[in-house]
């Protein structure tokens, strides 16, 4: 180990508990890297050095008290975990990626921020997001674009692009993200990370964005499966007014415990053709998918390759519900001109959605969940597919002056990920494949509602068979 950021988050936490590393020392290390690299990377919208230092001092005091009282500490105690700039943090501006809210400062924490505080993690700042966390790129009017550290000409993806860029470049050991249609898994693929979209209802929602359809959920981004699982343990818990509740874990287990558990032989269905008609899959993404099949079979899993007919109904339902998310943020009519073109377009579309159209979209959402659980996952334990249909794209490469053309670009880029937001099932990106030029190309694993444990065990097995932790970008 030559630098503190070379350690995994769990290794950092262990060193803190043992007394060989202090929360203050670790926090200063990451604040220094943010100061040096963030202007180039676009990972953070609002670094919070004063808050981070104050929390680190409190963590130091808590560590000393725990030692005196022989009291155990949470698994990630003293470890920095930034949050996406869609979450409310009391006293810290929350832009939601929008110039309209550039000066908005909430006076209360999101429930999830409370979980992170209670676990003793350190808040380095607010990570970059596109406006209202809508598109799968991270470009807005309040901060520089988020770039993947593997090639700074390329986008970090989105909408949790700032979070992924921060972790991949060593500006944070872990990060929280949100996923409405792939917003954790997309940047995880682009930045070479583990990214988990948990089951619907697994993590507390609100107060800024109550998503009645249940598309959106928060989850972890990390460099290792165990780190991601440990952060998911911290994040787990529903607020009393959360409209959804995920199935509980078996008594006495944690998500982290699954990272050390042999998954046993699994029945896996590999789905390569996109669920949306007319979408072409890039050879790099096909190569990643087929490499994953090979590795899974080498590990003793049974893998069937199936073609499922493409269907427009899922895309129509998702885009209807997604457009409604764009109007979940109240914007004064006089400020509409300050919104990004895609946001304005989606809000206009949402204004024309009738009650029967919205009800139909919800019915498709429920039907797809029943179809996947009742058909595919009665015969299989895990679904495998490419995470994306294209490799990382240049900054600005998905945007278009014509919002309808931009929507087509987004569909061609990420046709696979929205399925799990519609069904509510857990899914995760694993960085199993790397191009010859060093760019990561992820693959996606999905399981039945509440079965994050199987995904975590399988991903940990893949990580052990094909270690990816030693891959670092040049700016590392």
Task: Give the model confidence (pLDDT) of 244-297 as tens digits.
Answer: 889 999 999 999 999 999 999 999 999 999 999 999 999 999 999 999 999 999
Is residue 183 part of the annotated active site? The answer reads: yes
d(CA 402, CA 27): 43
SS3 of residue 50 by DSSP? helix
Q: Which residues pair with 47 in a beta bridge?
A: 125
Element (H, E) at 231: helix 225-235
* The predicted structure's pLDDT at residue 205: 75
> Could you tell me where the DSSP H helices lie in 312-392?
312-326, 341-351, 355-371, 377-379
- Indicate which residue of 98, 155, 159, 189 is catalytic: 159
Nearest CA-CA partner of 41 in 191, 149, 160: 149
SS3 of residue 287 by DSSP? helix
Confidence of residue 210 (pLDDT cuts 50, 70, 90): low
Radius of gyration over alpha carbons of the chain, in Å?
21
Q: What are phi and psi of 386, to 5 degrees?
A: -60, 150
Is residue 84 part of the annotated active site? The answer reads: yes
Element (H, E) at 175: strand 174-179
Confidence of residue 208 (pLDDT cuts 50, 70, 90): low
Portion of the chain with pLDDT greater than 90, in percent: 89
* Residue 198 in this model has a pLDDT that exceeds 90: yes
Share of the chain residues as helix, strand and coil, in percent rounded to the nearest 5: 40, 15, 45
pTM of the model: 0.97
Residue range 66-78, pLDDT digits in tens: 999 999 999 999 9
Q: Which residues pair with 351 in a beta bridge?
A: none
Q: Give exposure, 221-230, as e/b (b: 16+ Cβ within 10 Å).
A: bbbbbbbbbb
* The predicted structure's pLDDT at residue 402: 96
* The predicted structure's pLDDT at residue 448: 95
Residue range 133-152, pLDDT digits in tens: 999 999 999 999 999 999 99
Residue 329 Cα distances to 73, 96, 146, 240, 418, angstroms = 38, 9, 23, 22, 21
188 touches 158 (CB < 8 A) = no
* The predicted structure's pLDDT at residue 87: 95
Q: What is the mean pLDDT of the chain?
A: 95
* Residue 238 in this model has a pLDDT that exceeds 60: no
- Beta-sheet pairing, 217-222 with 267-271: unpaired
d(CA 287, CA 199): 28
Nearest CA-CA partner of 82 in 225, 220, 256, 186: 220
* Residue 169 in this model has a pLDDT that exceeds 80: yes
Residue range 409-464, pLDDT digits in tens: 999 999 999 999 999 999 999 999 999 999 999 999 999 999 999 999 999 999 99
Question: What average pLDDT does this structure show over 35-51?
Answer: 98
- Indicate which residue of 98, 155, 160, 183 is catalytic: 183
37 touches 146 (CB < 8 A) = no
d(CA 162, CA 442): 18
Residue range 330-360, pLDDT digits in tens: 999 999 999 999 999 999 999 999 999 999 9
Confidence of residue 368 (pLDDT cuts 50, 70, 90): confident
Portion of the chain with pLDDT greater than 70, in percent: 97
* The predicted structure's pLDDT at residue 376: 84
> Could you tell me where the DSSP H helices lie in 49-168?
49-69, 111-118, 161-168
């Amino acid at each position: 180990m030559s630098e503190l950021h070379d350690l995994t988050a769990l290794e950092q936490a262990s060193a803190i508990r043992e007394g060989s590393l202090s929360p203050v020392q670790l926090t200063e290390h990451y604040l220094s890297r943010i100061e040096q690299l963030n202007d180039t990377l676009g990972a953070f919208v609002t670094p919070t050095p004063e808050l981070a230092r104050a929390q680190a001092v409190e963590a130091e005091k808590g560590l000393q008290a725990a030692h005196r009282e022989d009291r155990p500490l949470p698994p990630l105690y003293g470890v920095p975990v930034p949050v996406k700039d869609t979450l409310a943090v009391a006293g810290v501006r929350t832009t939601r990626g929008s110039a309209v809210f550039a000066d908005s400062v909430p006076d209360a924490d999101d429930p999830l921020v409370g979980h992170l505080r209670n676990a003793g993690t350190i808040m380095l700042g607010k990570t970059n997001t596109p406006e209202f966390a809508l598109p799968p790129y991270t470009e807005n009017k309040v901060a520089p674009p988020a770039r993947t550290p593997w090639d700074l000409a390329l986008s970090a993806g989105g909408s949790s692009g700032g979070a992924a860029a921060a972790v991949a470049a060593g500006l944070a050991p872990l990060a929280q993200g949100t996923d409405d249609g792939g917003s954790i898994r997309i940047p995880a693929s682009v930045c070479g990370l583990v990214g988990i979209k948990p089951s619907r209802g697994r993590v507390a929602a609100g107060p800024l964005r109550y998503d009645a359809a249940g598309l959106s959920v928060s989850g972890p981004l990390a460099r290792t499966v165990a780190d991601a699982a440990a952060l998911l343990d911290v994040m787990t818990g529903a607020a009393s007014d959360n409209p959804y509740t995920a199935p509980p874990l078996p008594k006495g287990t944690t998500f982290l415990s699954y990272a050390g558990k042999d998954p046993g032989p699994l029945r896996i269905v590999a789905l390569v053709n996109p669920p949306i008609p007319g979408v072409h899959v890039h050879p790099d993404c096909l190569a990643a998918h087929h490499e994953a099949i090979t590795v899974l079979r080498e590990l003793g899993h049974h893998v069937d390759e199936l073609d499922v007919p493409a269907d427009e109904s899922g895309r129509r339902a998702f885009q209807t519900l997604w457009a409604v998310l764009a109007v979940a943020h109240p914007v004064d009519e006089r400020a509409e001109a300050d919104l990004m073109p895609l946001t304005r377009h989606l809000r206009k579309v949402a204004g024309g959605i009738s009650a029967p159209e919205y009800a139909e979209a919800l019915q498709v959402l429920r039907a797809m969940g029943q179809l996947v659980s009742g058909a595919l996952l009665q015969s299989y334990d895990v679904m495998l597919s490419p995470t994306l249909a294209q490799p990382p794209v240049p900054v600005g490469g998905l945007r278009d002056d014509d919002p309808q053309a931009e929507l087509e670009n987004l569909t061609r880029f990420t046709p696979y990920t929205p399925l799990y937001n519609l069904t509510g099932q857990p899914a995760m990106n694993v960085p199993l494949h790397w191009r010859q030029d060093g760019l990561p190309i992820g693959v996606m694993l999905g399981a039945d509602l509440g079965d994050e444990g199987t995904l975590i065990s399988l991903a940990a097995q893949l990580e052990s068979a094909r270690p990816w932790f030693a891959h670092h970008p040049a700016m590392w």
